[in-house]
Structure 1
Amino acid sequence: MTQHRTKPKLLIAMRDELPEGFFGEDEWARLNAVTDIIPGFPFTDFDSPAGAKALEKADILLAAWGTPSLTKERLSRAPKLKMLAYAASSVRVVAPKEFWDTSDILVTTAASAMALPVAEFTYAAIILSGKDMFRLRDEHRAERGTGGFGSRRGMNQPWLGNHRRKVGIVGASRIGRLVIDLLKSGTFDIAVYDPYLSADEAAALGATKMELHPLLAWSDVVSLHAPILPETHHMIGARELALMPDHAIFINTARGWLVDHAALLSGAQSGRLRILIDTPEPEPLPVDSPFYDLPNVVLTPHIAGALGNELRALADVAITEIERFVAGLSPLYPVHKQDMERMA
C-alpha cells in the first residue's frame, strides 16, 4: 500500500497586493505541488485570531514586504515553523535580532534576484547621466523650434559622455559587483571602496581598491551600494561631497540612510554636481523639497528594485528554495546570524 506523505503547511504573509504580482499560474502550480497553502492569505497580522491560527499551523513561511516581524513572542506561537523563505532582499524587518537569538529556523533570501534590476538600473543611470540626458531633454522641450538640436550641445563640454569615465563604487555588495560587471563591457575605469574587500579581491572583480576619500576625489561618477549599518549612517556628508570634482555624478540606488541629505541639498543647489536619487531620506521626500525641481537632480520614486514582471524572479528564487527544503536539499541562498552584521 502506497503511503502519501503529508505536505507541509505554507503560510503566505505579505502586503495584500503582492500575491498577484509575485505568482502566476506556473508559480501557484509549483507551490501547490509541494505544500498545502493555508487559506485566507495573504496574512498581514499574526496577532489577529486568523493570523495567530495560521501561524500556529505553519511549517513554512513565505514572506515579503508587509510580513509581520517574527518576535520572540510570535515565535513562541509558531511551534511547527521550520523555514522562512523571504521573497525579497533584506530580512531584517521579518527576522529581528531576537529571532536569531531564539530560533534555528532556516532563512533564505531572494536578494540575488533583487540585485539584478537594481544593478541594471544603476548602469543605465550611469550611462544616461553621463550624457546628461535628463537636463538636455528638458532643455529640448523648452527650446523646441529655436535650434540647438542634437550633439552640438556637447561639443565643448568634456564632462559629458562616457569614454574613459572614472566610476567609483561604494560597497562591493551583490549589486555593487554586478554594476562592476556591467561597466567592464565599456571603457570605464573602475574603483571600489569596501573595508571588507582586499586589493587582490578588487582586482579580481576588475576594479582598483581605494579608500573612500581618495575614491570620491578621483571619480567622475560615484554610485552607492553599501548596507544599512550603524557605521554607514551618513557616511556621505558635506566633507565627502566637497571632495568630488565639478560636474561629477552622484547616484544613490541603495538607501537614504547613507547620505546626509542636508549636505546633499547644499551640493545640489550649488549646481556643482549632477545627482540621481532613487532612495532619498526621508522616503518619500516632503512635497516642498527643493530636490524635486533642481535641474541637476533626477529624483525617482524607489524604482531601481524589482517592479512589475521582475517580481516573478523573486518568487522563482523563493519557490525554488521551498522546493529544495521539501525535497531535503540544501538551500541555495541561506541567511545566517553572522550575515546580519553586513547585510542591508
Structure 2
Amino acid sequence: MSIPPPPSVAGRPVVLLRPAPQRTDRIFTPGALRLLHDRFTVVDLADDPSDEAFDAALPDAFAIIGQPDLPAGRLARAPRLRALLNVEGNFYPNVDYETCFRRGVHVLGCGPAYAQAVAEYALALALDLARGISREDRAFRAGRERYVSDGNADAVLLRGSDIGLVGFGNLGRALHPLLAPFRPTLRVYDPWLPPGALREYGVLPASLDETLARSRFVFVLATVTDDSRRLLGARELGLLPDGARLILVSRAPVVDFPALLSRVGDGRLLAAIDVWPEEPVAAEDPVRGLEGLVLSAHRAGGVPEAFHAVGDMVVDDLTLVASGLPPARMQAAARELVGRYRNRPVT
C-alpha cells in the first residue's frame, strides 16, 4: 500500500505522548525528554488523556508512545503511523497487531529495559534462599539469632548447583551471565527456542519435567500465554527435590499458587516470590506469616535506572525509524507470538 510521508512541524515528525500508566518524568530523564522535543513535534496528552483528544491527534501521528486501545477502526484514522512504542512492559491484546504488521508499523516493547534489574534481583533472591539471609535477619531482630553453624542447618551453596530456568527470553538471557561465576549445571526449558539456539548460550536444553526434577534452584522467568498459565501445577511442583529453592520473578499465573504455598507450608520447598495473583496482597493473607517464603512486592524491575533506560530506548529507536532505519534497542513484537501473551497491566 502507498504510505504518505510523516507530517512534520519544522521538519519534525509528530509523536503522540500518552504513556499512562507510566509517567513522563519517570521514564524520561530531562536530557532524553529534551532530545525527544528537539527531534520530534511532541503532542503531550498528559493534561488531556481523553479518547477525544487522542483521536483528534491521530491523523498526523508518526508514532505513539504508550499502550492505548488501537482496534482496526482507530488505526484506520492514523494513516501516517510508523511506530507504536509500548512503555509499560507488556504487549496487551488491545491492539490490532495484524493491521500494524500489514501496514509496516513497528510495534515495540520496553521489556529489555527491565531485564538486567530483574536478573540481579532474582540472583539476590536465590542467594537469600540459599543462606537464609532475610530469615535470620528477622530472627536477630526478634532476639532469636543463631550463631555460627546453628543458623546454617539448611544452607546450601549456589556454586556448582543444578539450576533450572523456566523461560529464556529477556530475563533468562540477562540472568545467564550473572550465574556463570557460580559454575552451575544450567538447564533451560523454553518451548519457543530450539535446542540448538540454547546450546549456543552454553546451557542444556531440557524438558520441563527434567528441568524441575534435577534442579536445586529453579528460576521462573516465563511470560503468560494460554499454554503457560499454571504451567507449574501440583504435579510439576511435586517433581522438585525436597529442599529445592524456587524464585518467581516473571508472572504469577505461570504458577499454581495454592499448590506452591502448600508445598512451602509442608517444608518441602523454599520460595521467593515477587509477583502475586492479586496485587496488592490482602493484609490478612496468610502468606504473610508463612515460613519458607521470601516476600517481595513486585519490585524486581522497577528501579530508576531501568525506567530511564525506557526513555533512552524510545528516543533512540524513534530517531532510527524517522531516518528510515529499523529500531535497534526495544523489543520488536513478533507476529507469531504477540497474540499469545496474556499478561496484565502492572499498576
SS of match in other structure, 1:185: helix
Determine the structure 2 residue equivalent to 1:210.
206
State the Cα deviation string for residues 18-49 of structure 1 (Å, max 9, x = none): 1111122211121012101114436644x2x3
**Is residue 123–residue 178 contact of structure 2 (8 Å, CA) maintained in 1?**
yes
Structure 1 gap ranges (5+): none
Determine the structure 2 residue equivalent to 1:60.
63
Determine the structure 2 residue equivalent to 1:6.
11
1:140/1:187 CA distance change after superposition, 3 Å: farther
Mapping of 1:1-344 within 5 angstroms? 6-15=11-20, 18-41=23-46, 44-45=49-50, 47=51, 49-63=52-66, 67-93=67-93, 95-97=95-97, 99-100=99-100, 103-143=103-143, 148-154=146-152, 156-157=153-154, 159-332=155-328, 333=330, 334-340=332-338
Percent of residue pairs identical: 26
The CA deviation at 1:16 is 6.3
State the Cα deviation string for residues 79-131 of structure 1 (Å, max 9, x = none): 33221122343222553556547743222222222211111111221122211
The CA deviation at 1:201 is 3.0
Distance 1:42 1:104 in 2: 30
More displaced 10-residue stretch of structure 1: 269-278 or 72-81 = 72-81
Q: Match of 2:159, as an amino acid?
A: H
SS of match in other structure, 2:182: coil
Structure 2 gap ranges (5+): 1-8
TM-score by length of 1: 0.88
Distance 2:255 2:96 in 1: 24
**Is residue 14–residue 42 contact of structure 2 (8 Å, CA) maintained in 1?**
yes
The CA deviation at 1:196 is 3.2
The CA deviation at 1:322 is 0.5
**Is residue 275–residue 296 contact of structure 1 (8 Å, CA) maintained in 2?**
yes
SS of match in other structure, 2:290: coil
Distance 1:16 1:245 in 2: 40
**Is residue 222–residue 249 contact of structure 1 (8 Å, CA) maintained in 2?**
yes
State the Cα deviation string for residues 256-311 of structure 1 (Å, max 9, x = none): 11111121121122122111111111333333222122121122111112322320
The CA deviation at 1:207 is 1.7
SS of match in other structure, 2:247: strand
The CA deviation at 1:166 is 1.4
**Is residue 193–residue 210 contact of structure 1 (8 Å, CA) maintained in 2?**
yes
Distance 1:42 1:133 in 2: 46
1:205/1:256 CA distance change after superposition, 3 Å: same
SS of match in other structure, 1:11: strand
Q: Match of 1:19, as an amino acid?
A: T
The CA deviation at 1:11 is 0.6
More displaced 10-residue stretch of structure 1: 220-229 or 79-88 = 79-88
**Is residue 72–residue 96 contact of structure 2 (8 Å, CA) maintained in 1?**
no
**Is residue 10–residue 38 contact of structure 1 (8 Å, CA) maintained in 2?**
yes
Runs of 4+ in structure 1 deviating by more than 4 angstroms, as ranges, are: 96-103, 341-344
State the Cα deviation string for residues 289-337 of structure 1 (Å, max 9, x = none): 2212212112211111232232011111111001111222221143342
Distance 1:121 1:266 in 2: 25
Distance 1:102 1:75 in 2: 12
Distance 1:119 1:339 in 2: 23
Distance 1:268 1:96 in 2: 42
SS of match in other structure, 2:236: helix
Distance 1:13 1:247 in 2: 47
Distance 1:31 1:23 in 2: 9
